[in-house]
Structure 1
C-alpha cells in the first residue's frame, strides 16, 4: 500500500488549525482596540500617535500571516491522498481506469510508454498528439482541478465549463428575453427579436515542468499521482490567478480587468461599469464606506444575492479600518475554519493580482463571478517525460489547456480611484 509523502496526522492538523484560528480572533480584537485608539487621537489632536500607527501596522501584518497559515492548513485538511481506499475501490470496478493508471505509472517511473500507446490507440487518438506526452489518468486530472479551485481565487468563484475541443462559444442575450402580458383571448403580437452576442473562449496552453531524481521515481512507496499533483498545483494556480485578473487574451485567458471600464452611469454591453471613489488616488477621508455602499447597489439585485468582493491584501488592510455610522467595523473575520472574511456581509476573496489603491487603479471588484466570469478547461492533462535535458534529473513537461473571460458584463462592477 502506498503512503503519501505529504501525509500528516489529522489530529495534529486539527489542533494546529484551531490554535491558528484562535490566534487570528485574538489578533483582530487587538487590531480593533488599537485602531480605536488611533481614531480617538485623530479626533482629539488631528493626528495619530506614530507609535500607535506602528503597532497597528504590526498587528495588521500579523493578521495577514495568520490568515495565510489558516488557509494553508484548511487546504491541507481538504487534500485526500490519491492512493486512498476510496479511489482504490473505484479502480477495482473500472478495469480500464486501473489499466491506464498502471501504464501511466510505468511511463513516469521508467519511461516505458508501450502500455499508454496501446490505450490511446484503443481510444482512437494519436500516441503523442500535437502537444506531446500522454494523458494523465482521470483521477490525477480531477485532483489537480480540485486543488486549483482551492488555490486559484478567481477559479473558486467563477463559472466553469469542461470542453473537448480548443474553443468554447456561447450566445448571450444582451437585451433579455422578449416577452409581454396578454389576456386569455387577446391576439399575441409578435415580439421583438432578441439581441444576441456571441462570445468565444479559446483554451490556451498552460505548462509546468517539475523535476525528480531517478531515486525518487524508483522508490515504490512514493505515490506518483500525489507527487505530480503537489508539484504542478502551485505553478498552475499562480499563472491562472494572474491571467484571470489581468490577462490580455494573447496566448492566455483574458482577465476581467482587461475589458474597458466605463462610469456605471454610461455602462453598455461589452464594458464593465465602475464607481469612482471621489478621490483621484484613494478613498475619501470622510465616510469612506459610503462609496462601498454605492458599489454594492450599482449591481442589480439578481446578481447581488451571490456577490463577492475581490481585492488584494493591501486593499483589504485599508478596508479593515472602515466603520459604519454606529462605530461597527465593516470588515469581519471568518466565522469559522474554511470560511471567508466578510465586508458588509458579503464574502471577501483575496486575489494578490488585483491592483493596489492608487491613482486611476481599480483595486476592488464586486459581483456575481459565477455568472459574470467563465473559466473553460479543455479535458485532459498531458505529461511528457524528459530524462535528457537536465541530467541527472528527470523533467516532466506537464500541460493543460485553459481559457477564460467575462460572459455577463452586467454581473461585475469595479471600484476605481477617480475623482
Structure 2
C-alpha cells in the first residue's frame, strides 16, 4: 500500500500535468502558433513544479523499496512441513541471525559455544579465484540481511532491477552460451530429396565474479555496546548502499577490463542525432530508435536513461502536439514514453556531445548479471583497539555482460 504522502504526490503530479495540457490545448483551439506571455509563465511554473514533485515521488518510492527490506521480522510462508521441517529451518535461521547480531556487536568473545559453531559453519576464506572454508575470511550475512544489500542495489541503480540476474553458489568462471540464428531459414523440401544441413552456431561469453567491497567502516565500542537502535541492520544497509552505487556505475558504463562491461559501453547506435543535437533529441529520433530494435524484442522493451535524459524527453511532443512522456499516476507503475516503460538510472551518461544517453530494448534479453550467493561481512577487532573502535567491511562478488546485443540499441548524440 502506498503511503498517504506518496498518493497525494502522485495526484498532485497528475493535476499539474493536466494543467499543462490545458494550456497547450487552449492555444491549439485558438489557432495560435505560440503561447501568450501569461501562458508561457504558467507553463514554466507548472513544469518546475512537475520536476520537483516527480523527484519527490522517486525519493518516496525508493524509500518504500528500501523499507521493505529493513524489517527485522522474518515471515515464513506456509504451514508446518513434514515432521516440523519448515519450523526447524526457521528456528535455525533465527538462531543464526541472533548469533550474527551478537557477533556484530560483541565479536567472537561475546558468543556462546552454540552460536560460535553456527557462525563457523557459515565462515569462508576469501582468496583470488575461489571461496573456501578457512580462518581468514568473513561470515556469511544472514539471508534476509543479504536481501537488504540486493534491494539497496536495485534502489540505487535502476538497471539492476530490470536486467537478467542469475545466482550461483561459487565464483568460478561461468561459461554463458550465446546464439544468433536469425539469418537461417527453413526451406521447401521437394519429394525424394535429401534435407540440407544448417548447423546452429553457438558462441560463448565468460562471466567472472569481481569482488565489490563497501570499504572499511569504523564504529566505536560504545555504539556497539548500546542498544539504542538496531546497529546490525543499519550497518549492513549502509554497506549495501556503498556496494550498490559501485555496481550501478559499472552495469551502465563499465569498461569490461577488470570490471563488468556496461550495457551502454559498446551498445550499437540505433540512431545518431543530426549535427547540433549535442544535448537534444527529437520525436523522430526516438521513433527511429524504437524501430531499430526488431519487433521480436519490442514487446517487453523498456527505455533506459538518466534523470537528465528524461528532462530532455519530457519537453518533446508528437506530430499532433501531444507530449511523448506520460507520467505515472499509480504507485509502483513506471512512467511511459511512446507506450513503453522508462527505467531511470543516473549512472547512464547524460546528454552530451558523443554520448549515448538513451537506450531502448528488452533489458532482460540484452544484459545478464551473475551474482555469487553469500555476501559476507568481516569484523576487525585488533586493528583499531587503541581507538576503542571496531572495523567492519562488506563484500559481494558479481559480474555483468551484454548478452543478446540485438535486443538493445542506443541514441547517440553527434560530436558537434
TM-score by length of 1: 0.81
Deviation at 1:22, TM superposition (A): 1.9
Residues 95-146 of structure 1: CA distance to partner in whole angstroms, max 9, x if unpaired? 54344333322321211074356414899942345xx222112232234224
Deviation per CA, 1:205-264: give whole Å up to 9, x if none. 1111444333443345744553244212321221111111111123321112222x5xxx
- For the 8 Å contact 1:83–1:223, the answer to whether it is kept is no
The correspondence of residues 160-175 of structure 1 with structure 2, limited to 5 A, is: 160-163=165-168, 164-175=170-181
Given candidates 338, 347, 355, the residue that maps to 1:344 is 338
Q: Distance in 2 between matches of 1:183 and 1:63?
A: 63
Residue 330, structure 1, aligned to residue 339, structure 2? no
**Contact 2:153 / 2:248 at 8 angstroms: preserved in 1?**
no
- Structure 1 residue 258 corresponds to structure 2 residue 260: no
Contact 1:203 1:377 survives alignment (8 Å): yes
Report Cα offsets for 1:63-103 as digits up to 9, x if no partner: 44223233234325534513345489966434543443333
Partner of residue 146 from structure 2, selected from 138, 141, 144? 141
- 1:293 aligns to 2:282 (yes or no): no
Structure 1: runs of 5 or more not aligned: 1-9, 262-271
Evaluate the alpha carbon distance shift between residue 75 and residue 197 of structure 1 in structure 2; reply closer, same or farther with a 3 A threshold. Answer: same
Q: Whole-Å Cα distance in 2 between the matches of residues 363 and 300 of structure 1?
A: 20
Q: Which shifted more, 112-121 or 380-389?
A: 112-121
Task: Identify the residue that residue 22 of structure 1 maps to in structure 2.
Answer: 11
SS in 2 for 1:105: helix
Distance 1:36 1:75, change over 3 A: farther
SS at match of 2:264: helix
Q: Hey, what does 1:384 align to over in structure 2?
A: 378
The alpha-carbon deviation at position 373 of structure 1 amounts to 0.5
The size of the alignment, in residue pairs, is 393
- Give 1:65's aligned residue: 55
Is the 8 Å Cα contact of residues 108 and 385 (structure 1) preserved in structure 2? yes
Aligned counterpart, 2:409:
413
Report how far residue 36 of structure 1 moved.
Answer: 7.3
Pick aligned residue for 1:246 from 246, 253, 256: 253
Rounded Cα–Cα distance in structure 1 between residues aligned with 2:13 and 2:36: 31
Alignment RMSD: 3.6
Match of 2:104 in 1: 108
> Are 1:156 and 2:146 counterparts?
no
Once the two structures are superposed, the pairs formed by residues 41-80 of structure 1 within 5 Å of their partners are 43-44=33-34, 55=45, 58-76=48-66, 78-79=68-69
Which stretch shows the higher mean deviation, 97-106 or 341-350?
A: 97-106
Q: Is the 8 A contact 1:308 1:369 kept in 2?
A: yes
Partner residue, 2:82: none
Partner of 1:395: 391
- Residue 410 of structure 1: SS of its match in structure 2? helix
CA distance in structure 1 between the aligned counterparts of 2:374 and 2:67, rounded to whole angstroms: 26
Unaligned runs of 5+ in 2: 80-85, 110-115, 126-130
Distance (whole Å) between structure 1 residues aligned to residue 393 and residue 342 of structure 2: 35
- In the TM superposition, 1:312-331 aligns within 5 A as 312-331=306-325
TM-score, normalising length from structure 2? Answer: 0.81
Distance in 1, matches of 2:172 and 2:27, equals: 55
